[in-house]
Each structure stands twice: as structure tokens, then as C-alpha cells.
Amino acid sequence: MAAPTIDHRGPTFQTLTFDVLRGLASVLRTSHPVVIYPASGTGAWEAALANTLSPGDRVLMYETGHFSTLWKKIADSLGLKPQFLQGDWRHGVNAAQMEAELAADTQHAIKAVCVVHNETSTGVTSNIAAVRLAIDAANHPALLLVDTISSLGSMEYRHDEWGVDVTVGASQKGLMLPPGLSFNAVSDKALAARRSATLPVSYWDWEPILAANEKGFFPYTPATNLMFGLREALVMLEAEGLENVFSRHARHAEATRRAVRAWQFEVLCANPAEYSSALTAVMMPEGHDGSKVLETALRSFDMSLGVGLGRLMGKVFRIGHLGDFNDLTLIGTLGGVEMGLAVAGIPHQGGGVDAAMAYLVECARSDG
Amino acid sequence: MAAPTIDHRGPTFQTLTFDVLRGLASVLRTSHPVVIYPASGTGAWEAALANTLSPGDRVLMYETGHFSTLWKKIADSLGLKPQFLQGDWRHGVNAAQMEAELAADTQHAIKAVCVVHNETSTGVTSNIAAVRLAIDAANHPALLLVDTISSLGSMEYRHDEWGVDVTVGASQKGLMLPPGLSFNAVSDKALAARRSATLPVSYWDWEPILAANEKGFFPYTPATNLMFGLREALVMLEAEGLENVFSRHARHAEATRRAVRAWQFEVLCANPAEYSSALTAVMMPEGHDGSKVLETALRSFDMSLGVGLGRLMGKVFRIGHLGDFNDLTLIGTLGGVEMGLAVAGIPHQGGGVDAAMAYLVECARSDG
Amino acid sequence: MAAPTIDHRGPTFQTLTFDVLRGLASVLRTSHPVVIYPASGTGAWEAALANTLSPGDRVLMYETGHFSTLWKKIADSLGLKPQFLQGDWRHGVNAAQMEAELAADTQHAIKAVCVVHNETSTGVTSNIAAVRLAIDAANHPALLLVDTISSLGSMEYRHDEWGVDVTVGASQKGLMLPPGLSFNAVSDKALAARRSATLPVSYWDWEPILAANEKGFFPYTPATNLMFGLREALVMLEAEGLENVFSRHARHAEATRRAVRAWQFEVLCANPAEYSSALTAVMMPEGHDGSKVLETALRSFDMSLGVGLGRLMGKVFRIGHLGDFNDLTLIGTLGGVEMGLAVAGIPHQGGGVDAAMAYLVECARSDG
Amino acid sequence: MAAPTIDHRGPTFQTLTFDVLRGLASVLRTSHPVVIYPASGTGAWEAALANTLSPGDRVLMYETGHFSTLWKKIADSLGLKPQFLQGDWRHGVNAAQMEAELAADTQHAIKAVCVVHNETSTGVTSNIAAVRLAIDAANHPALLLVDTISSLGSMEYRHDEWGVDVTVGASQKGLMLPPGLSFNAVSDKALAARRSATLPVSYWDWEPILAANEKGFFPYTPATNLMFGLREALVMLEAEGLENVFSRHARHAEATRRAVRAWQFEVLCANPAEYSSALTAVMMPEGHDGSKVLETALRSFDMSLGVGLGRLMGKVFRIGHLGDFNDLTLIGTLGGVEMGLAVAGIPHQGGGVDAAMAYLVECARSDG
């Protein structure tokens, strides 16, 4: 990241572009093009909609939590007509319900289905393959747009195999970079939709970017230093092996849940098949405010936990366990939570760290 | 820049936000709000238009070179109706012509006037104060939008005093950072226009950003590490003193022009009052291609010169002299050009570096 | 540390020298000069002897562990005659025994007393003030030389108040720098001894260094980049406050010992008054080899513990808790040990991390 | 350099040690062992003497300039008897004179011959192969000790082929690192001398270092971060190719001398066969003080030139052109000198930079 800013019109940058595009495609499991934006993930959300849709288009979205709600608001801002299926913030998308909605849309007014793969506000994942099957079962031509911002590089994700049309990703979670880069992986069908879409696009326009990318360049100034960092991050992921990275995250998530249960707290995610490997949201006991845990953890142990977002404000706190994280960082983190609960005077059982350690020991032994 | 990514919802980040907003306002000479985007300058161009205008709005733009042409294309993409006054790429805006156009627009169909302060493709500046006077003289209510991407922090710029409504800036030139941050400074009139504008905006929307900024936060993930770097850069500029920074750039620009004339080449900028302090575009002698100079400089001396952009392709090469640049870096750069001309076999006189040195010696003496 | 190497004969370096010398004196609690060597701590050990002694001089040393034994070997190599009082590696120096030896030396053949303040091999400290009293009680003129390599910046140390003649320090422990710098703080009496000492000295010679330091320079090339890092480290220590730094280390040491006892292991240090705040050596149960714990911790949890050194090989492992360490790093570290014991199949009780957390919670509560 | 400090007893460090030792041997053109000290070059000078000699031993040294004089003082400090052949500081060693001295020493009282390969105070090199021939011609068993501190990695050096017994090197010149590491390359004959030498050695003692190095470790704490940097630097030198590195330095030295002559100044080095590729000392015209040039260059152009050292104080200034230096850095540097002369009012001809550029153009053409 500290490499001097280089000329983004020279051959060194060209090589960087090709390396990064190849690496991203590999992490996204796609043979289709990936577009890189010098922007936060929010920009890539907007890009996915603006490139493929026209004013007034209906989009089917599912309320999995705070971030799906934000994506829905972007659709509103752009003049789309989101149909927002209500959820309880404890489950992923209900694919059967989606299928019913799509089947009912015999006029094919719905132009796109938008799903968040890993809800950062809840620690609940959605089954993307099941959504694909639902669309196909309804024989519906809608595009499938998926947000993988907080799962990319931490959990399995398969753009091509799952039939996703636009995948939205970003740099600052599983790719372990600072924020400032985001991505769209784009299917042939999405590229075709681009050509007929009439929402105004300029910065987010895929076409000039894909054209310039063919020569290793960008139509406007790319975030060069973040691109260097991204190449490093992709090399590190490849060196560890994606499967190993995913199983490391799964191990830490399971250890975290065992700690949560030992504390006699409840994991927000209600369906074990939908547990997130990237973070765990923990429900506060009735009458206790999660923000007190956060304040105590920050003040006493200089540890940042995730606040409850949107309607979960005060009701949960979130433990992140993604990116450059090892067993001992996890134990330190869980220790910080357990001590924070004690200092804050939140009623709980001890033994959470012990439970997590017991699980990690078991894993280490079977590795052995 | 290499500081670990920090939590953008905590108090440390809050302090950073306030520091950076204060410093940017000071460099932009404004007491009005500044909006920071995790995006390239191209994004901030789009933001200036999208926040203030409605589909079909007329905007008056002036063709000062390649970058004003790109901005015009963005206006097209967004569904605006740019009226693009033709220029010769060797002069800044013709304020009198602008005044005439505005005076003729008795219906006030023109909603905004867009000007590039420092044309990076030509090394020609435009007199922003004169444009303001022209608008006022025509008694026209159009907004004044100004691009200062390649002048901010290198040349004098006065958002408030010059009556600019939206200033567009970026991180990667005079602020000496990697690309990835861009800015809009916003007048009261622009904020009012925001409220009636109907172009769809989401990522670029000033309002949620300004609201969150009041508490030191952002509505979506900011480019945290670039923000840290920006704080450093602003502190460095303040330590050197903006006036000193500007006179250093002016000195290097004059030394460069003296070298160009000694080589018996022509500076592209035809009007001395419009010389850029940030870069100098040099016209190639008839029958010789500027790209040959660039290739030779890169191959023989590992030096990147600026290529001729758009209609100047092959006809000029550009020498940058902005950012973290001192007298010796300049001499090395001019030496590279002079040697590159010789190695490439481009007919020219020697003595360019000598002429530049003579001027720098003169300056050093009078400093002394 | 990554600042470009600067000219060590210019004014910028001069300021650096003065800043660093002032900061070191403050950490060492001395108003006397401090000599900085571009060398490991081993060099500063040699310097303390070579500047003050003559071939064949007797020095009284105390075997507190592996590092005091190494210092004794250096004395041998230099042609001194060390009298090495035998210790059990579980206690600090026996000041009474030292006093007896000194009192018996009526001819004052003993020229110096050498003591290690914090034995890195055992986690046992020695009472330097008591040694000073012993020398005074014996009315003996011997110099007092003290090694504070692994305690400086982590535990209280008072060069002037404790009447130390030469203090030996280094960069890589409590000062949180890479290795490569070491120090001698020097009393007036030591400076006087320098003038009559006849061991050959050149690189280690205090006199030309002190002379050059007065002007902010060094007689030979200093390790410039480490000096920059040292200034940063001294500023960080001052910002936290030395007393706070010491109590943080003391808290971590106590939490560690509580974990050790919960595991039903024994802390090597037999005397609570001599516990080290910087590290804790843990005795292995009979029949179990400490190196197995180390190998397991490294292989399964990528954690480096300290090996048993010298006669403690296999009999102990060492847990470091110094430098840039917070409560959660400690919990992660102790978790790694507890899990390492389990994976390695070393018989132990659980609950070590729990015991440490209980103590840290208690501290946080009384802070709050 | 900014890598976190790693455990110097683990396998990662082991690999580093082997890589670095292999790389250094390659740059030194030796198949014999190289000893690395966490110390400045001054320490490696002392080490070369202290490992091989005994108190009162005679050493034959040659006064090539300030640094050979400093080495001689170290020999004095260690209790050796240097025989210091007087030189004029404008020539390298007189091998014939050395041969005569050695031939006259029929008792072989002289135990070592000490020569500086590249005198940093004068920019004069000495012919090491010729010194070897002189020793052989005199049939004398003296060891040959050579200082290559400021030539290693910038100019050709051949430890084995030239029959050197101890080569003294350091990190901060041609290896482009911060200061803090120095080296001894050691012949079999030198190792044998080590066994009979009686000067006290401890820190500098080759034997424990060589023994520990066999396993990839060090007997005392190495300067770990500088070792990482050294590996990088060795990789960079190898990537460019040593022959290319040497010819780059030779090109810059010749360009510098052409500038000096154009200014109508004299190069201090009187014998073209002995020109240094690493730096050029420039003689001031009678009645003008070189320090004025330095002060002006620093004040007006923020450029550090080398001061005249020892008896050359005020009589010369020195231009360094070694390490990470390209053609444009050189032109910037020579421009700074030429402008500094003008600002300081030192009588000189212009055209120095022009002359240097003409030569670099010629080289680039013949490359191209």
C-alpha cells in the first residue's frame, strides 16, 4: 500500500490491471468480466442497478437486514420500484416466497432480483443457489443481482455456478484492504441488459471500463495504490488456499457460537444452515442494551465490536471474525467480550472462552 | 497511508473527519461545506452535475481541452444538454463570449456554467473570477461549477471569493496522495439547487453525507486510509505555507518555460496570463511525433512524461511539475527531456536546462 | 523506521540526537550522559566492562540465569577475572552474600559488581537498590554495572537514585524497536574509571562519542533509521506515561501468574518480590519437555514462546508480556498456551485463561 | 524494513540468515564465510584487526585519506603498532613502496597489511590486486585486510581472486540500506590467524558467530529488520545484475568528472586509473572554501554534499553518486552543484550539466 503512486498509463500499471482482474475472477469463481470501481461498496450496489435497469423498473428485493434495506433505498433513489419482501432479520431469503412472487408476475414486470449473500447487520447468509433455482422454477427472466461485500474472500461464493448476473463486492472485508475499491462481476445477460437499460450512467458505466480494461487501462484515474494492495491480498489468499481460508473462517465462527451459547446468549441467526462465517450477531438479554457492551469493550479493552444497526439498535452486538484473523486473535476477541460483559455487569454465564478453546483444540488435534 | 484500517464508526475516525474537513476548507478558501467521496475526480464531476440539475437542463461549458470535453460527455450521459463553446485548446475560457451567451439566454434555460480551472491536457488555466463577473454582468442565475482537480494545492484557488457554487477537486495531484478521494465544495445556492434538482442521485447525494459529517461520520464506508493520508498532506501544505507552495510551483513552471524556449519549442498555452503552474504542454516541431519523445524518455531515462491527449495526440508532450517537487527534481526532469530529445533525434537547440538553472539561481539569490 | 536514510552530519540529525538522548535519560531516570551504540545489547555489556576496567581486574558477578552467565563469559573473553557467585536460577541476587564478599575484599581487588536487573531466561528480577546498599555497607569502592536490557521501558528503573555506575540497555524489548541499538548510562565515577582503565577500547569508547554528542553528532556512522524509530518509541512511552506503562506490565504479569497457577504449574521465580513484569517462566511438570509446548504452540497456533535457555532447556517455557501488549493480546497469548498444552497432551488443569480474565476484569472495574 | 520484528530463534529467521549469507558472498565474490555484525563499519574495521592480531603486532597501513587515518587510529587504540606510509590524498596506495617495506621486513614483524579500497574522503581507489602481488613478490606472510565499505555493491570487488584475507564491508552505501550492519569476509588464513591472535575479542569474535551461522542463527541478537532489508537489497542488485550496477556507477562518475572539468575545477583524484565510481571529490579554486558551496547547496536547494574531511576541510567538496541513483538523479545533483556555485559566487564556468548530459546521451545512444 505504501508503494509510490505510479503512472496509470504505463506498462507497469497494465500488468497490475491484468493481475488484479485475473485474481478477482478466481476469487469470484467466474470466467466473466469483473469491473473495478474506485468507490465504496455502496457505489457498486448503485452500479449494479444503474447499468441494467430503466426508470420505473420493478425489482424484487428481500429484507434480510439493515444492508438489504439500504440497497432498497438506493433503488428508490434511482427511481426504480422495489418490491421489498419483509423478513424477520433472523433468516436469509425465503426462496419459496420469491418463487411465488416471480411466478405471479406473469407480465415479467420484475426486471431484477436483489439478494444480500451475507447480511453484515445480522450474521445471516442467504442461499444464492436456491434463489437461482427459484427464478428458474418460475421461468422468470429477471436478472439476479447479489451483494457479496462482506462474504467475498471469507466464504464460498460461485458467481458462474450459481447463475448470478451481477455480483457486488468490495475491498475492505475478506480481502483485508482499506475501503475504497468495489466490484461488479457481470454475466453475458447483464451485459445485454446494459445495452437496453436507460438509467443515466457515467461513472458506473461498465462499457468504457471493460473496453479500457482489455488493454490494461481504465477510462478514468483508478485508485492505483489500493490496486497494488489488492494484488498483494489476492496473492496471500491464493497462497493460503481459498478452501483453507474458508475453513478457517468457519472454524472461528463455530468457536464464537460455542462461546455465545456458553454465555447463555442467543445467536441472532435462527437457522444453522444460514450461519455466517464472517461475523456473529449476539442477542442481548431482555432489558439490557448492547451498546453498553460496546462502550465497555472500547473503554476497558480498546476493542471495537459492531453496534446493532437499524431496528437491531441496542438489541444485539456483533463480533467480526474475518480477514487476517487467527485462533489467538479470536481468543483475544472473545476474551474481550466475556470480560466486557463482566465489567458492564450484564448477566451471563462464564466459560465462553473455554468453550471456544475446547473447540479450537479439537480442530488442532484433528489437523495434527 | 500504511496505518491499519480503523473503525469508521469510532471516535478516532470522528476526529479525523473533522480535521480533514477543516483542512480542505482552508485549502479551498471556503467557509462552506466540503463533501468527500471515496471516488476518482470523475465521480466528483458527476456529483457536481447530478446534485444540482434535472434531466434536460442546459449547461454552458467551454472546450478548453481534453478534460473539459470529458466533463461535457458526462453531462451528455446524464441526460443534460450541454452547450459546448468551441475553443482552440491554447487559451482558457473566453469570459466575454460566455457573457454574451448568458445574456442571450433571456429565459434562463442555462442552469449551470462549467469551467475547468487548470486544463491538465494543455497546461492552460482559466480565469474563474472573470467567469464569475461575466455571469454577474449578464445578470444570469446559472450556477458556477469549477473543476480544480489538477490545480488544488498547487495554484491559488478561492471558492468563496470567486463565487463558485460547486468546486470539484481530487486527491492525486497537488495534495500528493494516491488517487481515490474526490471533493465537492458547495455554496448555499448549490445546496438550494440540490433540493429542486431531479436527476437521480444516491452515492453522490450531498445531503446524507453532510448530515452524517456533522457528527464526524459518513453514510457509507469512507476510504479510511486515504483520509489518514489526506490529513498528513494537509498538515504538510500548511507547514510549508500555501503561498510558499504556490510560488514554488510558479517558479518551476517559469523555469520549465524558459527551458522550452531555449529548445526553440513553443509552449502550447498561448496567453502568458493563463500559464499553468502545475504542468507545461510543449508543442512538437512540425513533422515530429511527441510520442517518440515519451517512449525515449521512458526507455532511456525511466521517466514518464504526459502524452498528448485527444486532438493533441502526437502534437505535444506534457511536463508535470506539481506536488512534492523541488528545484533539483525539476532539473532532473528537464535534463531527462533535453536528453530524450537528443536520443530521439528531435531537432532542437540545447541550453534548456541551462536556462532553467539560470532562472532558479536568480530566484535563490533574491531569496537569500 | 521506513523514513529515508538521512545525512548524519546535518542539522536534522542533530535535532534527532538531542531528542533521543533526552528521552533515553528520562526513561533511565538519570541526569548523567547516555551513550548509544549501533550494536546489540551484547555490545553494550562489553562496553560497560571495557570502558571501566583493566586486564586482570576482578569483577563480582551473580549467577541469576543464562544471561548473567553470558555476561560473565564476556568478562572472561576480555581477560577480566570474574568471581561468579552461584545462584539457583530461581532467585535474584543475594545482596547479603554480595556484601559479605565485598567486605572480605579488604584490598579492594574487586573493581566492579555486575548485576542483571531482569533475567530474561528466568523471569526473576534483582533488587538493584539493595545491591547498592550492600556495596555501601561494605564500604567498597567497586563500580556497580547493571543490565536492564529486558526491563528498560517495562519496569521501574532508576539509574541515579539507585547509584548505578553503568546501566546497559537495548532497543528491542520495552522500547518496542527492532534490535540494533544499545546503551550505556554512565555515572561520574564510571567516567573517572574510564580514564584509568587500560583494556583496549575503540568502537566502545565512551569519550569520543560523548564529545561528538555534545554537538549532536557521532564519531562514526550511527544507525540512523533505528534512531528515528527510537524517538517515536520514546514519544509513545511518554504519551502513555511511564507509570501507566509499568502498571500495565505488572497487571499482565499478575494475570499470567494466575493462569499458570490455575494450570497447576509453578512459576519459576520463587520469590514474589522478584517477579518480572516483562516475562514469566513456567516450570514443566516432571517428565515433560517444555520444547514440546513450544513446538505445538508454533505449529498449531503460530505462536512463539521462549525456550528454556542453558540449564533450563526443556524444563521451562517462557511467556513474554512486554512492549506493545494489551489485555486482549495477553488473553490470546494465554489462550495459545492453554490450547497448546492440551494439543501437546501435557497434563494440566484448565481455567488458566479464566483466572487471568477474572483478574483483568477486577482491574478494569477498579479503573472504571 | 518495516516488517514486524521476528523471532530470531525460529525457522523464518533461519531462512533469512542463509539467504543473506549466500547473497553477500556473491556480491563479495567469495566462497569463504562472511560474518555479519549488528554494528557500523567502524566495528567491522575493529573486528578485522582484533580477530587476527595480538597486542604490539606491527601492521602496514597506507594513508590514502581520512578513513585510512581513522582505521590507523583504531589500530593504535587496540595496542597495535601501525606503520603508516604517508600519502598525498590524491593517489591510491603505492604498491611498489609497500613491496619495498615488506621486503625490508625480513623478520616478518609485520602481521597485516591494511588498505582502503575506495577512500570516501577523496574519491580515490586503490588497486587491491596490485597490493596482493606486492605482498607475494616480497614473499611476505602478512595478512591482507581491505576496507570495501564504500565500494561494495557499487564497484567491482573480488575477495577470493584478489587474495584478500579479511574484507570489511557495511550496509549503508552500495547496498542502499540504513547504517547498522557491517561485514567481515574471512579467508582460511585469517581463520587460522584468529586461533593464534591474543587481542581480547568478544562481540567481534568470528568463531561463535560462524558456529551459530551454520545452523542459521547468531550467538547474540542480530539486527533482524536490517537483515530483512539486506535480503531485499541483495535481490535488487542481483535483478539488475552486478555488472550493470557497476557500469551504471561508472557512467555516473564519468559524467560527473566531465561536469567538474567544464566548471574548470579539478578532480581530486590525480590518477584516472584510480577514479572512484562511488563519489567524486572536487577541488576548490584557491582562496575559496568548499564549505560555502555545501551551505549554499543545503540552504538554497536542500541538497547534502560531502564536506572535506580531515586535512581536506574547506579544500574540497564531495559529490556522491552511488546506490539507488539514476541518470536524472545525477543531473539533478549536478544541477544543484552548478547552481550552488553560482548562488555562492564561486568563480566557475557554466556548462557542467551540459557536459554531463552530452555524455549520458552518448551512452544512451550506444545502448539503444
Nearest CB to A179; choose among B170, B223, B298: B223
Distance between start and end Cα atoms, chain A: 36
Distance between start and end Cα atoms, chain C: 36
- Whose grid coordinates read 472473545? A334
**Smallest Cα–Cα separation from A219: which of D37, B67, B97, D255?**
B67
pLDDT of D315 > 60? The answer is: yes
pLDDT of D9 > 80? The answer is: no
pLDDT band at D223 (very low <50, low <70, confident <90, very high): very high
Please tell me whether the interface predicted TM-score (ipTM) of this complex is above 0.85. Answer: yes
The alpha helices in chain D, defined as continuous H runs, are 11-27, 41-52, 66-77, 95-104, 128-137, 188-196, 206-213, 224-240, 242-262, 290-301, 327-344, 352-367
pLDDT in tens, B261-288: 999 999 999 999 999 999 999 999 999 9
What's the mean pLDDT in B330-354? 97
Comparing B82 with D322, the larger pLDDT belongs to: B82
What is the Cα–Cα distance from A254 to D7, expressed in whole angstroms? Answer: 31
- The distance from CA B216 to its chain's CA centroid, rounded to whole angstroms, is 27
pLDDT of D368 > 90? The answer is: no
pLDDT of A1 > 90? The answer is: no
pLDDT of A121 > 90? The answer is: yes
Give the Cα-Cα-Cα angle B46, B52, B53 (nearest 5 degrees): 85
Q: Around A43, how many Cα atoms within 13 Å sit in the side-chain half-sphere?
A: 32
pLDDT band at B3 (very low <50, low <70, confident <90, very high): very low
Residue of D nearest to C149 (CA): D221
pLDDT in tens, D279-290: 999 999 999 999
What's the mean pLDDT in B190-194? 98
Would you state the cell numbers that stand for residue C327, as one nine-digit string?
489485555
Residues A20-23: contacts with CB within 8 Å, 24+ apart? A20/A227, A20/A230, A20/A231, A20/A234, A21/A213, A23/A230, A23/A231, A23/A234, A23/A235, A23/A238
Q: Are D318 and D280 within 8 A, CB to CB?
A: yes
How far does B269 lie from chain A, in Å, by closest CA?
Answer: 24
Prediction pTM value? 0.94
Asked if A357 and C335 come within 8 Å (Cβ–Cβ), the reply is yes
pLDDT of C57 > 90? The answer is: yes
What is the Cα–Cα distance from D178 to D226, expressed in whole angstroms? Answer: 8
Q: Are D135 and D142 within 8 A, CB to CB?
A: yes
What's the mean pLDDT in B37-64? 98
pLDDT of D345 > 90? The answer is: yes
What is the rounded average pLDDT for all residues in chain C? Answer: 95
Say what percent of chain C tops pLDDT 70.
98
How far does C297 lie from chain A, in Å, by closest CA?
Answer: 10
Q: Are C185 and C164 within 8 A, CB to CB?
A: yes
Q: What is the DSSP string of C208-276?
A: HHHHHHTTT--SS---HHHHHHHHHHHHHHHHH-HHHHHHHHHHHHHHHHHHHHHTT-EES---GGGB-
pLDDT of C4 > 60? The answer is: no
pLDDT in tens, D120-140: 999 999 999 999 999 999 999
| Chain C neighbours, 3+ Cβ pairs < 8 A | A, D
Which residue of A328, A365, A366 to mutate against C (max C Cβ within 10 Å)? Answer: A328
Q: Does A287 touch chain C (CB under 8 A)?
A: no
How far does C167 lie from chain A, in Å, by closest CA?
Answer: 35
Give the model's pLDDT for residue B368: 60
What's the mean pLDDT in C312-318? 96
**Smallest Cα–Cα separation from B298: which of C359, A286, C194, A14?**
A14
pLDDT band at B4 (very low <50, low <70, confident <90, very high): very low
**Smallest Cα–Cα separation from C102: which of C145, C69, C137, C147?**
C137
pLDDT of D219 > 90? The answer is: yes
Number of separate helices (H) and strands (E) present in chain A: 12, 12
pLDDT band at D4 (very low <50, low <70, confident <90, very high): very low
Say what percent of chain B tops pLDDT 70.
98
pLDDT in tens, C357-366: 999 999 999 9
pLDDT in tens, D73-100: 999 999 999 999 999 999 999 999 999 9
Q: Are D126 and D116 within 8 A, CB to CB?
A: yes
Q: Does A333 touch chain C (CB under 8 A)?
A: yes
Encode A193-208 in three state secondary structure: HHHHCCCCCCCCCHHH
Asked if D304 and C10 come within 8 Å (Cβ–Cβ), the reply is yes
pLDDT band at C2 (very low <50, low <70, confident <90, very high): very low
What is the Cα–Cα distance from C291 to C313, expressed in whole angstroms? Answer: 8
What is the Cα–Cα distance from A303 to C332, expressed in whole angstroms? Answer: 13
What is the Cα–Cα distance from C14 to C214, expressed in whole angstroms? Answer: 10
What's the mean pLDDT in C215-231? 94
| Residues of chain C contacting A335 with CB distance shorter than 8 Å | 327-328, 331-332, 335, 353, 357
Asked if B336 and D327 come within 8 Å (Cβ–Cβ), the reply is yes
| Residues of chain D contacting B328 with CB distance shorter than 8 Å | 301-303, 332-333, 335-336
| Chain B neighbours, 3+ Cβ pairs < 8 A | A, D
Q: Are B316 and B283 within 8 A, CB to CB?
A: yes
What is the Cα–Cα distance from C40 to B143, expressed in whole angstroms? Answer: 66
Q: Are D266 and D351 within 8 A, CB to CB?
A: no
pLDDT of D1 > 80? The answer is: no
| Residues of chain A contacting C354 with CB distance shorter than 8 Å | 350-351, 353-354
What is the Cα–Cα distance from A120 to A140, expressed in whole angstroms? Answer: 29
Q: Are D6 and D13 within 8 A, CB to CB?
A: yes
pLDDT band at D189 (very low <50, low <70, confident <90, very high): very high
pLDDT of B1 > 50? The answer is: no
The b-or-e profile of A12-43 (16+ CB within 10 A means b, else e) is ebeebbebbbebbbebbbbebbbbbbbbbbbb
What is the Cα–Cα distance from A205 to A52, expressed in whole angstroms? Answer: 10
Residue type, C271: N
pLDDT in tens, A38-94: 999 999 999 999 999 999 999 999 999 999 999 999 999 999 999 999 999 999 999
Q: Are B64 and B92 within 8 A, CB to CB?
A: yes
pLDDT of C53 > 70? The answer is: yes
pLDDT band at C5 (very low <50, low <70, confident <90, very high): low
What is the Cα–Cα distance from D363 to D252, expressed in whole angstroms? Answer: 10
Nearest CB to C364; choose among A339, A365, A367: A339
Strand partners, C110: C58
pLDDT of A287 > 50? The answer is: yes
Say what percent of chain A tops pLDDT 70.
98
pLDDT of C334 > 80? The answer is: yes
How far does C314 lie from chain D, in Å, by closest CA?
Answer: 15
pLDDT band at B367 (very low <50, low <70, confident <90, very high): confident
How far is the CA of B199 from the CAs of B46, B83, C130, in angstroms? 11, 18, 80
Give the model's pLDDT for residue A4: 47
Asked if C343 and A328 come within 8 Å (Cβ–Cβ), the reply is no
How far does D224 lie from chain C, in Å, by closest CA?
Answer: 6
Q: What single DSSP character describes residue A285?
A: P
pLDDT in tens, C58-107: 999 999 999 999 999 999 999 999 999 999 999 999 999 999 999 999 99
Nearest CB to B360; choose among D339, D357, D367: D339
Strand partners, C279: C320
What is the Cα–Cα distance from D163 to C294, expressed in whole angstroms? Answer: 46
